[in-house]
């Protein structure tokens, strides 16, 4: 195609001169051949140039392809490095996250340990370790503890280890925050041997207990002179004998927590007084009734037979004298039987039944009040407990003090009325049951006695 284009250009150049000039054909052909040769040489040169450029372009293209391959391999290598770096970064991030979780867990363990440490140390050590506990709690509980916070935590751990070593062997230290028996702050020397704590100064020595407060404070429980002297010698010289309680002061606390009867009466409030009045009156009435009903005995059958024999034989005066020897409610019953022995059977039965009815109120006297005491005392106790609980919770709401010791103390005092109510009700219930059974037995004996007398007189008439 390029060759044809060149020929076309040649003819365009040649034809105009042919038409305008009057040159011969041979000359024209020569010139045309000459022009053709020139065009062919130019074509050859152009082809040579193209070939040379083609080789150079091919070389450049190959070099570009090789460079592209090299770049592509480098890109792939870099991509792999990037992927590997991303994986390593993810692994590092995961390891860092796990390490942060472990650090947070260890920090929380320190926080839990501080709470347990505060709960288990002796009351006399609270002031000694209060600053260390405060510092530890301020430096724990964060999501990512700092090295300074970890250093504070390990310092506290070392303090706890040192404290354990000292307590195991026992140690002494001065204190000025111990309450005496009268509630006055004492200054002296504290002794701590394992779970046992003691206090000593020139005038006071004893075992240290926790005063319920609020607030909770150490308080000295004085011991006997001999034991106090041993504690004082140990505090002065660091050796000697110390009194140990196997119950770790629980027995002493129980002993000191016991209240006398009058203390409980004062703690019971206003509702304990009706309970005590009911209990006292019912007790006196029950004792009187016990003496009364258990001193009455059913007359033996021989008395009845002898009275019947004398009445039937007409010796009414002797029968009346014999009836007067019987004691209790059987006496008026037997006297009426002798007096109206000759009356009709129906009339005699009515008279004797009337005597039984007359004796029944005297025999059942005080029993209703004892029954009322047995029923009302627990209700009064419950009323006192409810009133005390309302007062306790009202005080807590007003003062905002939700301490469990204060709550337990208020509930304990409120339950005093229930305790006394049950103490009054249970004996009253038992005595009422016994006395009622005894009275019913006496009334049944009187009915049996009157029935036997009427039947005896009826047989005599037949």
**214 preceded by a cis bond (ω within 30 of 0):** yes
Containing H/E element for 15? helix 2-20
Is residue 322 within 8 Å of 309, Cβ to Cβ? no
Question: Which pLDDT value is given to residue 19?
Answer: 45
pLDDT (tens digit per residue) in 165-198: 777 767 777 877 777 777 778 788 887 777 778 8
Question: Which pLDDT value is given to residue 36?
Answer: 83
Angle of helix 367-399 versus helix 272-294 axis, rounded to 10: 160
High-pLDDT (> 90) share of the chain, %: 2
- How many whole angstroms separate alpha carbon 228 and alpha carbon 231? 5
- How many whole angstroms separate alpha carbon 310 and alpha carbon 316? 6
- How many whole angstroms separate alpha carbon 404 and alpha carbon 198? 26
The stretch 397-413 carries a mean pLDDT of: 65
Question: Which pLDDT value is given to residue 20?
Answer: 43
Residue 461 banded pLDDT, cuts 50, 70, 90: low
Is residue 410 within 8 Å of 263, Cβ to Cβ? no
Q: Tokens 């006192």: give the residue.
A: 384
- How many whole angstroms separate alpha carbon 350 and alpha carbon 241? 87
Residue with the larger pLDDT of the pair 407 and 225: 225
Is residue 278 within 8 Å of 380, Cβ to Cβ? yes
**238 preceded by a cis bond (ω within 30 of 0):** no
Is residue 156 within 8 Å of 114, Cβ to Cβ? yes
pLDDT (tens digit per residue) in 121-177: 777 777 777 777 777 777 665 566 677 777 777 788 888 888 887 777 677 778 777
Is residue 310 within 8 Å of 318, Cβ to Cβ? yes
Cβ-Cβ contacts under 8 Å for 269 (sequence gap 6 or more): 384, 387, 388, 413, 417
Question: Which pLDDT value is given to residue 254?
Answer: 61
Q: What sign has the CA pseudo-torsion 455, 460, 461, 462?
A: positive
Containing H/E element for 73? helix 25-120
Is residue 352 within 8 Å of 333, Cβ to Cβ? yes
| Range scoring the smallest mean pLDDT among 14-18, 61-65, 222-226, 323-327 | 14-18
- How many whole angstroms separate alpha carbon 60 and alpha carbon 134? 79
Q: Tokens 């307590």: give the residue.
A: 167
Residue 12 banded pLDDT, cuts 50, 70, 90: low
The stretch 106-111 carries a mean pLDDT of: 78
Residue 332 banded pLDDT, cuts 50, 70, 90: confident
The stretch 438-448 carries a mean pLDDT of: 86
Q: Is 145 helix (H, G, I), strand (E, B) or coil?
A: coil
Do β-strands 205-211 and 171-179 pair in parallel, antiparallel, or remain unpaired? unpaired
CA angle 9/10/11 to nearest 5° reads 95
**What residues form DSSP beta bridges with 209?**
219
High-pLDDT (> 70) share of the chain, %: 85
pLDDT (tens digit per residue) in 242-294: 776 666 666 666 655 566 667 777 777 788 888 888 889 888 888 888 888 88
Question: Which pLDDT value is given to residue 358?
Answer: 84
Is residue 244 within 8 Å of 204, Cβ to Cβ? no
Do β-strands 196-200 and 205-211 pair in parallel, antiparallel, or remain unpaired? antiparallel
The stretch 397-402 carries a mean pLDDT of: 65
Residue 119 banded pLDDT, cuts 50, 70, 90: confident
Q: Tokens 């059974």: give the residue.
A: 437
The stretch 38-50 carries a mean pLDDT of: 84
Q: What is the mean pLDDT of the chain?
A: 78
Residue 29 banded pLDDT, cuts 50, 70, 90: confident
Rounded to an integer, what is the distance from CA 130 to the centroid of its chain? 25
3-state helix, strand, coil in the chain (%, to 5): 75, 10, 15
Residue with the larger pLDDT of the pair 92 and 410: 92
The stretch 384-399 carries a mean pLDDT of: 78
Measuring CA to CA, which residue among 381, 341, 366 is closest to residue 439? 366
Cα-based distances in Å from 260 to 213, 240, 267, 405: 21, 36, 11, 20
| Range scoring the smallest mean pLDDT among 294-298, 311-315, 332-336, 369-373 | 311-315
Question: Which pLDDT value is given to residue 153?
Answer: 77
The stretch 9-28 carries a mean pLDDT of: 57
The stretch 195-222 carries a mean pLDDT of: 75
- How many whole angstroms separate alpha carbon 333 and alpha carbon 453? 10
The stretch 413-430 carries a mean pLDDT of: 87
Task: Render the burial of 52-88: b for 16+ CB within 10 Å, e for the rest.
Answer: eeeeeeeeeeeeeeeeeeeeeeeeeeeeeeeeeeeee
Question: Which pLDDT value is given to residue 4?
Answer: 54
- How many whole angstroms separate alpha carbon 380 and alpha carbon 220? 39
Question: Which pLDDT value is given to residue 188?
Answer: 84
Question: Which pLDDT value is given to residue 426?
Answer: 92
Question: Which pLDDT value is given to residue 257?
Answer: 59
Mean pLDDT comparison of 89-98, 240-249, 313-322, 343-352, highest-scoring range = 89-98
């Amino acid at each position: 195609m390029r060759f044809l284009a060149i020929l076309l250009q040649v003819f365009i150049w040649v034809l105009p001169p042919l038409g305008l000039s009057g040159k011969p054909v041979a000359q024209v052909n020569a010139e045309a051949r000459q022009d053709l040769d020139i065009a062919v040489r130019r074509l050859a040169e152009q082809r040579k140039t193209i070939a040379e450029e083609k080789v150079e372009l091919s070389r450049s293209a190959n070099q570009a392809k090789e460079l592209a391959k090299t770049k592509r391999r480098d890109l792939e290598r870099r991509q792999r490095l990037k992927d590997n770096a991303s994986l390593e970064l993810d692994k590092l991030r995961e390891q860092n996250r796990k390490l942060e979780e472990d650090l947070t867990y260890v920090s929380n363990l320190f926080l839990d340990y501080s709470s347990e440490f505060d709960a288990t140390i002796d009351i006399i050590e609270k002031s000694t370790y209060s600053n260390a506990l405060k510092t530890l709690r301020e430096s724990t509980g964060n999501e990512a503890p700092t090295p300074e916070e970890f250093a504070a935590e390990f310092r506290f751990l070392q303090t706890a280890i040192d404290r354990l070593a000292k307590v195991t062997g026992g140690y002494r230290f001065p204190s000025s925050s111990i309450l005496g028996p009268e509630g006055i702050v004492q200054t002296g020397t504290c002794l701590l041997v394992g779970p046992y704590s003691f206090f000593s100064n020139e005038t006071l020595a004893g075992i240290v207990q926790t005063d319920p407060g609020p607030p909770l404070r150490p308080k000295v429980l004085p011991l006997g002179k001999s034991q106090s002297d041993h504690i004082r010698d140990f505090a002065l010289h660091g050796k000697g004998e110390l009194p140990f309680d196997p119950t770790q002061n629980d027995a002493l606390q129980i002993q000191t927590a016991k209240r006398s009867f009058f203390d409980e009466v004062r703690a019971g409030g206003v509702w304990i007084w009706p309970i005590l009045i009911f209990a006292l009156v019912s007790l006196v009435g029950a004792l009187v009734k016990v003496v009364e009903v258990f001193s009455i005995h059913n007359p033996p059958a021989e008395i009845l037979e002898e009275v019947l024999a004398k009445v039937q034989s007409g010796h009414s005066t002797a029968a009346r004298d014999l009836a007067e020897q019987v004691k209790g409610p059987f006496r008026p019953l037997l006297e009426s039987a002798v007096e109206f022995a000759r009356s009709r059977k129906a009339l005699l039965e009515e008279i004797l039944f009337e005597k039984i009815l007359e004796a029944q109120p005297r025999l059942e006297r005080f029993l209703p009040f004892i029954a009322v005491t047995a029923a009302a005392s627990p209700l009064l106790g419950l009323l006192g407990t409810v009133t005390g609980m309302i007062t306790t919770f009202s005080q807590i709401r007003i003062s905002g003090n939700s301490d469990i010791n204060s709550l337990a103390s208020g509930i304990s005092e409120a339950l005093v009325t229930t305790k006394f109510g049950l103490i009054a009700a249970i004996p009253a219930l038992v005595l009422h049951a016994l006395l009622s059974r005894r009275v019913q037995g006496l009334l049944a004996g009187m009915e049996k006695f009157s029935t036997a007398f009427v039947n005896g007189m009826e047989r005599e008439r037949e």
